Amino acid sequence: MSARGEQRLRTGHPWIYRADVADVDASGGDIVEVIGPRRRTLGHALFSDRSQIPLRMLTRGDAPFEPAMLRARLERAIRFRDSLNLDATAYRVVHGEADLLPSLVVDRYGSYLVVQALSQGMDRLLPSVIGWLSELLSPDGILARNDPKVRTLEGLEQTVEVLAGTIPDSVVVREGPIEYDVDLRKGQKTGLFLDQRENREAAARYAHGRLLDGFSYHGGFALRLAGQCTAAEAIDISADAVARITSNATRNRVGNLTAREANVFDELRRLEKAGERYDTIVLDPPAFAKNKASVPNALAGYKEINLRALRLLAPGGYLVSCSCSYNVNEEMFAEMVHEASIDSHTPLTIVEKRMQGRDHPVLVGAPETHYLKCFILRRVE
């Protein structure tokens, strides 16, 4: 590997890019010894022969690699989540790089687990991982949601398959006071947006009056906040998501929530023209910036929805504004909010700056693991 690659490892980053890999004597999916420019062993890594990230570090230094280390890391990840005493039956058990298990995701939905192996190396390790998870957690079923597009960058198939036990068509989980009916095979991500759990709780500290939940998916924010609001409206472009919001509202006896299928960009414009006002608005769009090149367009998109939402917001109202694009960092997001506040002539305060929940921790030195921003903003007057 190049000197630049070695330097990158020193910063704590677990990925080495293709340009920094000199000679390769390995096949895709192998666990390899990584040798530095001065012939020193720098550690062991998962190797991919297709990805722009051919090396994902598993260990550092010259100690030999033992598979038992991975089992121990799984065990530690499970113990850490147990220690959080989360008031939920669905949460992330393994958050890839942050648990030193690169490119592995394990989410728990009650007595079921959903896994994702997002690199060639982790894909090859999956049978061992399933065995260890079965021993450690005794789940009723394990589903591989190996359908994310990033798998194609690794030359891997996009598949959804049951790897252990059985997986029912619908699983009921609880997050605080709210129950969700989840389709683990077809829902977005692994079924729910588990990373927003603590932000939904935080938003509940401020929500009041008339609520608009934009990009609502299964209604996570709307369902949690509706009880303290006079009326709640949820908007999503997906018909399936809207049907789920309605059935989840019935399940939770939330009577003041209506959901509609629409494009939030169009809907914000229409509501503004109609002179509507809201006291609480949530914006939780999908990642607009999938890569660095799309950042300028993404920022324009974030600014447009935030600007329009601010025009709909009543004085004393709250805007819960989120971005899950890791290419748009917190500083860029804050700058976009600043511009939206200036252009809409809205005096704004930042009440809370938040990120993904504690079960999705950030690995220091790997900024990509800090992907979710959630600002709770208050229109002062």
Ligand X SMILES: C[S@@+](CC[C@H](N)C(=O)[O-])C[C@H]1O[C@@H](n2cnc3c(N)ncnc32)[C@H](O)[C@@H]1O
Catalytic positions, please? Answer: 324
Say how far residue 373 (Cα) sits from the centre of its chain: 10
Nearest approach in angstroms of CB 285 to ligand X is 6
For the bound state, the minimum distance from the C-beta of residue 215 to ligand X, rounded and expressed in Å, comes to 3
Least distance in angstroms from the C-beta of 286 to ligand X? 4
Which residues are CB-neighbours of 110 under 8 A, at least 6 positions away?
Answer: 89, 90, 171, 172, 173
Which residue lies nearer to ligand X by CB, 5 or 220? 220
First to last CA, the chain: 57
Nearer to ligand X (CB atom), residue 77 or residue 264: 264
Closer residue to ligand X (CB): 60 or 185: 185
Q: How far is the CB of 259 from ligand X (least distance, A)?
A: 11
Per the structure block, which two tokens stand in for 189?
């991500």
**Angstrom distances, CA of residue 267 to CA of 110, 214, 233, 319:** 36, 9, 12, 16
Nearer to ligand X, 119 or 248 (CB): 248
Q: Which is nearer to ligand X, 71 or 251 (CB)?
A: 251
Helix H segments across 84-193?
Answer: 120-137, 150-153
Q: Which residue has its beta carbon closest to ligand X?
A: 220
The minimum distance between CB 98 and ligand X, in angstroms, equals: 20
Interface ranges with ligand X (CB under 6 A)? 188, 193, 196, 215-218, 220-221, 235-238, 241, 263-265, 284-286, 324
Cα 375 from chain centroid (whole Å)? 16
> Would you say 365 and 11 are in contact if contact means Cβ atoms under 8 Å apart?
yes
Which of helix, strand or coil describes residue 113?
Answer: strand
Contacts 24+ apart (CB under 8 A), 182-186: 182/90, 182/109, 182/218, 184/109, 184/112, 184/114, 184/143, 184/145, 185/143, 185/145, 185/160, 186/240
